[in-house]
Amino acid sequence: MTITFWTASTSAVATTFLASLVEAVEAFTILLAVGTVRGWRPSLLGAASGIAVLALLVVVLGPLFYLVPLQLFQLIVGILLLLFGMRWLRKAIMRAAGVIAFHDENQTLAAETAGLRWVQHNEAHLDWFAGLTAFKAVLLEGIEIVFIVIAVGVGQGLLLPAAIGAVAACAIVGTIGLAVHRPLARVPENTLKFAVGVLLSAFGLFWVGEGLGIAWPGEDFAILALALMFLSAGLAFIRFAVYIRNSRLG
Protein backbone atom coordinates (compact mmCIF):
# COMPACT_ATOMS: atom_id res chain seq x y z
CA MET A 1 0.00 0.00 0.00
CA THR A 2 1.65 3.24 -1.15
CA ILE A 3 1.21 6.69 0.26
CA THR A 4 -0.47 7.77 -2.99
CA PHE A 5 -3.02 4.95 -2.57
CA TRP A 6 -3.85 6.18 0.93
CA THR A 7 -4.09 9.77 -0.27
CA ALA A 8 -6.49 8.77 -3.05
CA SER A 9 -8.48 6.49 -0.72
CA THR A 10 -8.82 9.18 1.93
CA SER A 11 -9.96 11.72 -0.67
CA ALA A 12 -12.47 9.21 -2.07
CA VAL A 13 -13.90 8.34 1.36
CA ALA A 14 -14.11 12.02 2.37
CA THR A 15 -15.82 12.94 -0.90
CA THR A 16 -18.44 10.18 -0.85
CA PHE A 17 -19.01 10.59 2.91
CA LEU A 18 -19.64 14.33 2.73
CA ALA A 19 -21.71 14.14 -0.47
CA SER A 20 -23.83 11.30 0.92
CA LEU A 21 -24.32 13.23 4.16
CA VAL A 22 -25.91 16.10 2.19
CA GLU A 23 -28.11 13.81 0.09
CA ALA A 24 -29.11 11.58 3.00
CA VAL A 25 -30.18 14.59 5.11
CA GLU A 26 -32.40 15.79 2.23
CA ALA A 27 -33.93 12.34 1.70
CA PHE A 28 -34.45 11.87 5.46
CA THR A 29 -36.45 15.12 5.71
CA ILE A 30 -38.95 13.81 3.14
CA LEU A 31 -39.10 10.38 4.81
CA LEU A 32 -39.78 12.18 8.10
CA ALA A 33 -42.61 14.18 6.49
CA VAL A 34 -44.16 10.97 5.15
CA GLY A 35 -43.67 9.22 8.48
CA THR A 36 -45.22 12.11 10.42
CA VAL A 37 -48.32 12.41 8.24
CA ARG A 38 -49.00 8.79 7.36
CA GLY A 39 -46.92 6.67 9.73
CA TRP A 40 -43.58 4.93 9.24
CA ARG A 41 -44.88 1.94 7.26
CA PRO A 42 -45.31 3.70 3.85
CA SER A 43 -42.24 5.80 4.56
CA LEU A 44 -39.97 2.81 5.23
CA LEU A 45 -41.55 0.71 2.46
CA GLY A 46 -41.01 3.53 -0.03
CA ALA A 47 -37.43 3.98 1.16
CA ALA A 48 -36.74 0.24 0.98
CA SER A 49 -38.15 0.10 -2.58
CA GLY A 50 -35.97 3.05 -3.56
CA ILE A 51 -32.88 1.35 -2.14
CA ALA A 52 -33.82 -1.90 -3.95
CA VAL A 53 -34.08 -0.08 -7.32
CA LEU A 54 -30.72 1.63 -6.67
CA ALA A 55 -29.12 -1.72 -5.79
CA LEU A 56 -30.56 -3.21 -8.99
CA LEU A 57 -29.13 -0.32 -11.01
CA VAL A 58 -25.70 -0.89 -9.48
CA VAL A 59 -25.83 -4.67 -10.07
CA VAL A 60 -27.01 -4.31 -13.68
CA LEU A 61 -24.95 -1.28 -14.74
CA GLY A 62 -21.89 -1.79 -12.53
CA PRO A 63 -20.20 -4.54 -14.58
CA LEU A 64 -20.74 -2.53 -17.81
CA PHE A 65 -18.31 0.13 -16.58
CA TYR A 66 -15.46 -2.41 -16.66
CA LEU A 67 -16.13 -3.00 -20.38
CA VAL A 68 -15.29 0.62 -21.25
CA PRO A 69 -11.56 1.29 -21.85
CA LEU A 70 -10.11 2.98 -18.74
CA GLN A 71 -8.96 6.18 -20.44
CA LEU A 72 -12.35 6.72 -22.12
CA PHE A 73 -14.11 5.92 -18.84
CA GLN A 74 -11.95 8.45 -16.99
CA LEU A 75 -12.69 11.12 -19.60
CA ILE A 76 -16.47 10.57 -19.56
CA VAL A 77 -16.69 10.30 -15.77
CA GLY A 78 -14.28 13.23 -15.39
CA ILE A 79 -16.52 15.43 -17.55
CA LEU A 80 -19.63 14.40 -15.59
CA LEU A 81 -17.86 14.88 -12.24
CA LEU A 82 -16.60 18.30 -13.29
CA LEU A 83 -20.10 19.39 -14.37
CA PHE A 84 -21.63 17.97 -11.18
CA GLY A 85 -18.95 19.33 -8.85
CA MET A 86 -18.82 22.81 -10.35
CA ARG A 87 -22.61 22.98 -10.25
CA TRP A 88 -22.52 22.32 -6.48
CA LEU A 89 -19.59 24.68 -5.99
CA ARG A 90 -21.33 27.52 -7.84
CA LYS A 91 -24.54 27.04 -5.88
CA ALA A 92 -22.65 26.95 -2.55
CA ILE A 93 -20.74 30.14 -3.50
CA MET A 94 -23.97 31.94 -4.42
CA ARG A 95 -25.64 30.83 -1.17
CA ALA A 96 -22.63 31.76 0.98
CA ALA A 97 -22.59 35.19 -0.67
CA GLY A 98 -26.30 35.68 0.04
CA VAL A 99 -27.22 35.82 -3.64
CA ILE A 100 -29.61 32.85 -3.36
CA ALA A 101 -31.41 31.52 -0.30
CA PHE A 102 -30.01 28.73 1.87
CA HIS A 103 -31.64 25.32 1.73
CA ASP A 104 -33.76 24.95 4.86
CA GLU A 105 -34.66 21.43 6.01
CA ASN A 106 -37.37 22.75 8.38
CA GLN A 107 -38.98 24.58 5.46
CA THR A 108 -38.77 21.44 3.30
CA LEU A 109 -40.39 19.39 6.07
CA ALA A 110 -43.20 21.95 6.44
CA ALA A 111 -43.81 22.05 2.67
CA GLU A 112 -43.78 18.25 2.27
CA THR A 113 -46.01 17.77 5.32
CA ALA A 114 -48.48 20.39 4.06
CA GLY A 115 -48.52 18.75 0.62
CA LEU A 116 -49.21 15.32 2.09
CA ARG A 117 -51.93 16.70 4.40
CA TRP A 118 -53.63 18.38 1.42
CA VAL A 119 -53.59 15.09 -0.43
CA GLN A 120 -54.92 13.33 2.70
CA HIS A 121 -58.15 15.35 2.34
CA ASN A 122 -58.44 14.76 -1.38
CA GLU A 123 -57.08 11.29 -2.04
CA ALA A 124 -58.40 7.93 -0.97
CA HIS A 125 -55.17 6.01 -1.56
CA LEU A 126 -52.79 8.14 0.48
CA ASP A 127 -50.61 5.20 1.55
CA TRP A 128 -49.65 4.71 -2.08
CA PHE A 129 -48.97 8.41 -2.55
CA ALA A 130 -46.97 8.61 0.68
CA GLY A 131 -44.96 5.51 -0.23
CA LEU A 132 -44.32 6.89 -3.70
CA THR A 133 -43.11 10.20 -2.23
CA ALA A 134 -40.65 8.34 0.00
CA PHE A 135 -39.60 6.10 -2.90
CA LYS A 136 -38.97 9.10 -5.18
CA ALA A 137 -36.96 10.94 -2.51
CA VAL A 138 -34.68 7.98 -1.87
CA LEU A 139 -34.32 7.21 -5.57
CA LEU A 140 -33.50 10.78 -6.64
CA GLU A 141 -31.08 11.53 -3.80
CA GLY A 142 -29.71 7.98 -4.01
CA ILE A 143 -28.94 8.25 -7.72
CA GLU A 144 -26.63 11.18 -6.92
CA ILE A 145 -24.91 9.10 -4.23
CA VAL A 146 -24.55 6.09 -6.57
CA PHE A 147 -23.16 8.32 -9.32
CA ILE A 148 -20.59 9.90 -6.98
CA VAL A 149 -19.53 6.51 -5.52
CA ILE A 150 -19.11 4.96 -8.99
CA ALA A 151 -17.44 8.03 -10.48
CA VAL A 152 -14.99 8.48 -7.62
CA GLY A 153 -14.42 4.77 -6.99
CA VAL A 154 -14.38 2.73 -10.19
CA GLY A 155 -11.68 4.52 -12.21
CA GLN A 156 -8.94 4.00 -9.63
CA GLY A 157 -10.09 0.76 -8.03
CA LEU A 158 -11.40 2.64 -4.99
CA LEU A 159 -14.98 1.41 -5.17
CA LEU A 160 -14.89 -0.19 -1.70
CA PRO A 161 -13.56 2.84 0.21
CA ALA A 162 -15.91 5.10 -1.78
CA ALA A 163 -18.89 2.86 -0.93
CA ILE A 164 -17.86 2.68 2.73
CA GLY A 165 -17.88 6.49 2.91
CA ALA A 166 -21.40 6.64 1.44
CA VAL A 167 -22.85 3.84 3.59
CA ALA A 168 -21.33 5.36 6.75
CA ALA A 169 -22.92 8.74 6.00
CA CYS A 170 -26.36 7.21 5.32
CA ALA A 171 -26.13 5.09 8.48
CA ILE A 172 -25.18 8.12 10.61
CA VAL A 173 -28.01 10.27 9.19
CA GLY A 174 -30.52 7.41 9.57
CA THR A 175 -29.50 6.67 13.16
CA ILE A 176 -29.41 10.29 14.34
CA GLY A 177 -32.56 11.16 12.40
CA LEU A 178 -34.58 8.30 13.84
CA ALA A 179 -33.29 9.11 17.33
CA VAL A 180 -34.17 12.82 17.26
CA HIS A 181 -37.28 12.55 15.01
CA ARG A 182 -36.57 15.99 13.58
CA PRO A 183 -35.06 17.21 10.31
CA LEU A 184 -31.29 17.51 10.63
CA ALA A 185 -31.43 21.23 9.98
CA ARG A 186 -28.29 21.97 11.97
CA VAL A 187 -26.09 20.07 9.54
CA PRO A 188 -24.13 22.84 7.78
CA GLU A 189 -25.52 21.86 4.39
CA ASN A 190 -23.97 24.69 2.39
CA THR A 191 -20.50 24.23 3.89
CA LEU A 192 -20.68 20.52 3.08
CA LYS A 193 -21.91 21.28 -0.43
CA PHE A 194 -19.02 23.72 -0.89
CA ALA A 195 -16.50 21.11 0.32
CA VAL A 196 -18.00 18.38 -1.89
CA GLY A 197 -18.09 20.76 -4.86
CA VAL A 198 -14.37 21.46 -4.32
CA LEU A 199 -13.50 17.75 -4.04
CA LEU A 200 -15.65 16.59 -6.97
CA SER A 201 -14.35 19.38 -9.21
CA ALA A 202 -10.79 18.35 -8.29
CA PHE A 203 -11.50 14.67 -9.04
CA GLY A 204 -13.28 15.65 -12.26
CA LEU A 205 -10.49 17.88 -13.52
CA PHE A 206 -7.88 15.27 -12.60
CA TRP A 207 -9.71 12.58 -14.56
CA VAL A 208 -10.45 14.75 -17.56
CA GLY A 209 -6.71 15.38 -17.70
CA GLU A 210 -5.93 11.67 -17.33
CA GLY A 211 -8.51 10.88 -20.01
CA LEU A 212 -6.82 13.35 -22.35
CA GLY A 213 -3.46 11.72 -21.64
CA ILE A 214 -2.05 14.37 -19.31
CA ALA A 215 0.32 12.92 -16.72
CA TRP A 216 -0.30 15.17 -13.69
CA PRO A 217 2.79 15.97 -11.65
CA GLY A 218 2.75 14.02 -8.35
CA GLU A 219 0.19 11.53 -9.74
CA ASP A 220 -2.71 11.15 -7.25
CA PHE A 221 -1.30 13.95 -5.06
CA ALA A 222 -2.38 16.28 -7.87
CA ILE A 223 -5.99 15.73 -6.69
CA LEU A 224 -5.13 17.41 -3.39
CA ALA A 225 -3.37 20.27 -5.16
CA LEU A 226 -6.36 20.74 -7.47
CA ALA A 227 -8.71 20.62 -4.46
CA LEU A 228 -6.66 23.33 -2.69
CA MET A 229 -6.81 25.42 -5.85
CA PHE A 230 -10.61 25.08 -6.15
CA LEU A 231 -10.93 25.80 -2.42
CA SER A 232 -8.91 29.04 -2.66
CA ALA A 233 -10.73 30.09 -5.82
CA GLY A 234 -14.13 29.24 -4.31
CA LEU A 235 -13.42 31.32 -1.18
CA ALA A 236 -12.24 34.21 -3.35
CA PHE A 237 -15.36 33.94 -5.54
CA ILE A 238 -17.59 34.19 -2.44
CA ARG A 239 -15.97 37.55 -1.59
CA PHE A 240 -16.28 38.55 -5.25
CA ALA A 241 -20.02 37.69 -5.30
CA VAL A 242 -20.60 39.52 -1.98
CA TYR A 243 -18.86 42.59 -3.40
CA ILE A 244 -21.03 42.52 -6.55
CA ARG A 245 -24.19 42.01 -4.52
CA ASN A 246 -23.35 44.87 -2.16
CA SER A 247 -22.51 47.23 -5.03
CA ARG A 248 -25.84 46.39 -6.68
CA LEU A 249 -27.72 47.04 -3.45
CA GLY A 250 -25.93 50.39 -3.19
Which residues of the shown chain bind other proteins in the complex (CB under 8 A)? 79-80, 82-84, 86-87, 89-91, 93-94, 97, 99-100, 140, 143-144, 147, 201, 205, 208-209, 212-216, 226, 229-230, 233, 237, 240-241, 244-245, 248
Cβ closer to other proteins: 6 or 128? 128
CB 85 within 8 A of CB 197: yes
Q: List CB contacts of 57: < 8 A, sequence separation 6 or more.
A: 143, 146
Residue 199, helix vs strand vs coil: helix
Contacts by 61-65, CB closer than 8 A, 24 or more apart: 62/150, 65/150, 65/154
For the bound state, the minimum distance from the C-beta of residue 95 to other proteins, rounded and expressed in Å, comes to 11
Rounded-to-integer distance, Cα 180 and Cα 123, Å: 30
Cβ closer to other proteins: 17 or 237? 237
For the bound state, the minimum distance from the C-beta of residue 117 to other proteins, rounded and expressed in Å, comes to 24
For the bound state, the minimum distance from the C-beta of residue 208 to other proteins, rounded and expressed in Å, comes to 6
For the bound state, the minimum distance from the C-beta of residue 140 to other proteins, rounded and expressed in Å, comes to 7
Cβ closer to other proteins: 171 or 214? 214
Residue 163, helix vs strand vs coil: helix
Rounded-to-integer distance, Cα 14 and Cα 18, Å: 6
Cβ closer to other proteins: 91 or 182? 91
For the bound state, the minimum distance from the C-beta of residue 176 to other proteins, rounded and expressed in Å, comes to 26
CB 183 within 8 A of CB 173: no
